[in-house]
Structure 1
């Protein structure tokens, strides 16, 4: 039902062109039918959610949508796969990798272009890591976590070593010693020295770090990575989850995606490493999001805070594709746990 609602309200042709599919960033559409502004990374998560759904219940129509969405992202992005944001292209790379490996919808030229750009984003400034965007002074976890996951999945020995270096860099510089939570990033001056730490503890920073460590555990079998996952799950459980054990939201816009991303990788930790606490957070969050949905004629509408009732309104964050994708991603994560028979410890 969550999938159907997003597809009904948001999935459209690009500029009315036949054979195209893209996600409208807001609903009702209004001026956004022109697809301005362009939220590249939201489309990557729309692609990821569609892949989740296809693995859950394969249908030809959805497969066509996935293939058209891949090509339309490139078309809307000026016939290019990349932009100046390293986190954006890492997210698209992860979704494209899944489309190829899990659905046999391959775009090898796109993955190679993204791989080259991410490799070029690593420098020794600030002790290592990939920049958030070109010609910037920030190196952050939202760019480095997805890049580490993609490097690991691509399977090249050099890329695997780079992924390990990324996790080492995050662990050295960006884990709060008091809470175990992963901080956002480092500010780096032109001389390459760290000039400040961005101490935000966003949900999606925890998620991408968990995801990177799970991938490295799968690739290497090194128990260090399992222990880093466990430390982060415990930190999330103690310091981030709120009322009823539910993940907190971060408003609309880009922040609308943050909690769903953490849910995705908590579910991965639960399936791969058997982390029951990670599973419980996903189940409690999914249950709360579903109970607090607003039933619109087009299907369930979810709010940015899963412990609060969703509502319609002209200026409400429920209008954002990001917020709806986050809830859909959460419910797909719970469905993954059910398929793998990873059960909650409550009820």
Structure 2
């Protein structure tokens, strides 16, 4: 049996490791911080030549998780530095051409306002307006993945739906429901209950091709949106997603990995929203969601590599992490954030009195 609060301790160790390796000022400017996208950090990393907009949004989210786990003025100050760093490095404002990126930053900024009192109302308004404008009837509905593209996918629509549901006014709640309904109508695999990635459309709006890949990212954000909406029909959908993940995406209870780069975040995203479902879903599958989070976190921890600055996580949580040599995904900030997210998800359940069931 795991001793009390050990999961919080593991999350704290991951936090310190990521911050010590990756955090850097933006171009030496005081009051700023961003995560270098790879470690060991080379000169392009020190200068933030490569930005990783949505990785930074998840770094901000992880720091907010840590602040809830162990509140401190230093973490609250880091939240402010990260928000300023994102705005400075993005150069052109708060948004970019990718609707999924924009939605993730909106979610993190909304949390920063509600959890540490750092309000950026103009930024949130700009982000929400961009997402509202991304909906069209092409392919039956949904928000585009990218401006001026032909692709609509769950990775963009899921976080947008979560944000609209959390903003909470009547029109935005309607948008959140419309998004989830479109996902369910267009992108559910009838055999497994999992969500496909997305679909391409012709200029006339008809569907050209469906990308029938199963990503843990897609399941996580769809689950999160259903939990936020909260009515009985959406709770039933959430329960179906949990069961489908357990039966089809978890080998011996551990998620399959999606490599480095953007894929390094996918498992952590699913763990985050499984934890929310475990806490908020009034269905038997809530306990199943909690067990998945604990299994993921335990496997991740068991397979960590020990380096000078703390634990190092791999992209596949069922395999031992390797040294962060050039070309290996262990170098990527995304992979380390995905691991940190999973440990924070387990710590969240721990401090809410949830424990793994015997298995």
Shorter-chain TM band: over 0.9
Q: Distance between the aligned counterparts of 1:307 and 1:195, measured in 2? A: 36
Is 1:234–2:243 an aligned residue pair?
yes
Shift of 1:36: 2.1
Q: Please point out which of 119, 131, 148 is paired with 2:161.
A: 148
Give SS of 1:295's match.
Answer: strand
Give 1:335's aligned residue. 347
**TM-score, with normalisation over the residues of structure 2?**
0.94
Q: Matched residues in 2 for 1:290 and 1:109: separation? A: 40
CA shift, 1:79, in A, is 4.4
Q: Where does residue 264 of structure 1 map in the other structure?
A: 272
Match for residue 258 of structure 2?
250
Distance 2:235 2:331 in 1: 38
- Whether the aligned pair in 1 keeps the contact of 2:31 and 2:84 (CA below 8 Å) is no
- CA drift at 1:314: 2.6
* Whole-Å separation in 1 of the counterparts to 2:47 and 2:237: 44
Conservation of the 8 A alpha-carbon contact between 2:304 and 2:320? yes
Alignment of 1:252-331 (within 5 A): 252-273=260-281, 275-312=286-323, 313-331=325-343
Tell me the secondary structure at the aligned position of residue 255 of structure 2. Answer: coil
Task: Name the count of aligned residue pairs.
Answer: 342
Distance 1:253 1:346 in 2: 35
* Cα offset, 1:322, TM superposition: 0.1
Answer yes or no: is 1:3 the counterpart of 2:9: no
Query: Cα offset for 1:72?
Result: 1.0
Indicate the residue corresponding to 1:110 in structure 2: 123
1:203 corresponds, among 204, 216, 233, to: 216
Q: Which runs of 4+ in 1 moved over 3 A?
A: none
Cα distance in 1 for partners of 2:114, 2:202 equals 40
5 Å-filtered alignment, 1:56-75, equals 56-75=69-88
C-alpha distance in 2, partners of 1:119/1:156?
13
Equivalent residue runs for 1:10-29 within 5 Å? 10-29=22-41
- 2:65 is aligned, of 40, 44, 52, to 52
Q: What secondary structure is seen at the aligned counterpart in 2 of 1:186?
A: strand
Which residue does the alignment assign to 1:135? 148
- Output the CA distance in 2 between the equivalents of 1:228 and 1:85: 27
Unaligned segments of structure 1, at least 5 residues: none
Deviation at 1:32, TM superposition (A): 1.5
Partner of 1:211, secondary structure, is helix
Deviations 1:43-78 (A, max 9, x none): 000000000000000111111111010011011001
3-state SS, counterpart of residue 196 of structure 2:
coil
Q: Which runs of 5+ in 2 are unaligned?
A: 1-12
- Please give the alpha-carbon distance, in whole angstroms, between the structure 2 residues aligned to 1:19 and 1:68: 5
Distance in 1, matches of 2:59 and 2:264, equals 13
1:101 to 92, 114, 126: 114
Q: Secondary structure at the match of 1:121?
A: coil
